Structure 1
Amino acid sequence: MYFPESDHLFTGVDYKTGKISWKLPTPGRIREFQIVNNHIIIASIDLYGIMAIHAHTGKILYELPLHSDKNCQVDFAPRPIGFDETYFYVANFNCSLISAYEISSGKKIWSKTESASALYNFTVAGKYIFLGYNLHNNDNLSGEIMLLEAHTGKLLYRQFALFDIFTDPVPYGNKIYYHTYDYRLQELDVENKTERTLFTFGKSNDFGGNQIYRQDHFLFLQDIQYNILKIDLHTFKKEIFDKGHKGMLGVYKIKDKINLIY
């Protein structure tokens, strides 16, 4: 198990024995991290940058410092991280929309730059990266979704969308499901580069700000009335699965029974 013990200490614990494996002093708070290739931790550190840590020993493998210029500023925002077998990808980092780095060395492979003031979120789906952003301009909200080739950064598809950056997009098969600020659940077919609206919600029954969780071929989401909605991705039927009074934090399955985490 790995966790930031404080703003300046990152800790690895052997969960079988409960003993501390290592402690690593850090130059700031780790706000986001992922374990890639089963043994490398890619961590985003406030006001510092990216650090690669060996998960078994706590040794620092390489560092990618933050820098600011006239086009962007260093901030406290967590930087979304995704990965595949070869590269890891990070958004909102060093004036880039999204960048790809080699996991083993930290070498930059490619990067794309768009509006420095926009906010981004993305997911890695096989050989693709699905990315969305939104941009506030006075009282107006605008945004786009993009589909990139993961290993080259080549732009394959882009479309206007009021993309909700706080709800993580969810891949399933060759489809990506995402939420928009105009109360829609969208489906993007990454192979055919087509999309459609699955459901349109409203102010009173939207799920904005909550996450979409997938279990098997079902999506689970919680609306603002605390209803847990279950959507079948084979039939696209929607039903109320549960009525809760707390926020849903996850979905898991044991012995063919689906359980919710509150």
Structure 2
Amino acid sequence: MCSHYEGVSDPKRLAEHFGVILPAGVKFDVWPAYESIFIRRPKEWGSGDDAVPPREAQAGAFGLVPHWTRAVDVKTALVAARRTYNARPETARDKPSFRDSWRRAHHCVIPAEAIYEPDWRSGKAVPTRIGRADGGPMGIAGLWTGWNSPDGTVLRSFTMLTVNADDHALMSNYHRPDDEKRMVVILHEHQFDTWLDASAERSMEFMQQFPADLLVAAAAPRPTRPRGA
């Protein structure tokens, strides 16, 4: 599972690897309920308008806030995001928090330089930074949605999809010894567009482990975990 990641903060790097423009005002040291970015197809995509880009970066909260959430304002609604930052594809199609996004194929790609996981092999949680071995940014498969506040504000939000990693050569080393090992679904670059266009029926085809030899892990300074994150 991933509750902390490093977003892509360099506009040139984001444009080069993902073909999108960096929105203003987002965070790059990202924890649940923080606003960062996700990449989706524009609503006008496929309309025949050549001016519509194939991808767009949207600001949104890390942690899915379902459209049916009952809350008086955005701040209250974000409480839900602290529990919905990761989704299991095994249950997403039926779990109330995720099922509408799954069934509507609200697919997105979440750009990240690295994710952080605890290494418990020493008996203590050692914060570990995990990134791509080639130095490139990750494109993590996710789901997105929108929530309408009573005051008319639209809150967009997203979640990362995860798969079992009990047998993964690298990711099986993380989290508590007795916990199931999970890892985020990292897409290859050639999969970005096919994932964004995939129907709900095809979603499971993308739920695969990323090869261990294409990742690198190193102990990192202990992160400052914000209160409530």
TM-score by length of 1: 0.25
Larger gyration radius, structure 1 or structure 2: 1
Is the helix fraction higher in 1 or 2?
2
Q: Which of the pair has the greater relative contact order for Cα pairs under 8 Å at 6+ separation?
A: 2
